[in-house]
Each structure stands twice: as structure tokens, then as C-alpha cells.
Amino acid sequence: MMWDQEIDATGLLCPLPVLKARKRLSGMEPGAVLRLVATDPAAVIDVPHFCAEAGHDLISTVEDGAAQIYLIRRR
């Protein structure tokens, strides 16, 4: 799947991956897709919760070694 913007949050701990995603998504057009790469173990809980609370669509979650890759569609 294609994405419009990407954030590499590897090495950042909670809550920074979600805060960076929130800020970037706020400047994106509705329907645009953000790819977020994170290594924070808490991201597996934080990112889906953030998407549900903010109304964004969590399109996919993929494990890639120590990283999780999230595709989020802006509401």
C-alpha cells in the first residue's frame, strides 16, 4: 500500500511516537495515509488507542524485526 507521509520514530519512547503522529496527521488532508515506524514496545497499545480516540483508521500493523509499522488514514 502507498502512503503520503512517513515518520521514523525508532528509538523514541512513549508518548513521543503518538505525539509525532498526532502532529503530522493534523497537517495532512483527510484520507491521506501516514506510515509510522516505531520500536517502542508500548506503541502496540498506544497507536491503536490513539487512532480509536481520534477517529483515524488504523489500516495495518506489521512487525518488522524490532519495529512495528503502522499505516494510519487521517479521518
| 23, amino acid identity | K
Point out the catalytic residue in the list 12, 14, 16, 69.
Answer: 14
CA angle 29, 41, 70 (to 5 degrees): 25
Is residue 14 annotated as a catalytic residue, yes or no? yes
Active site residues: 14
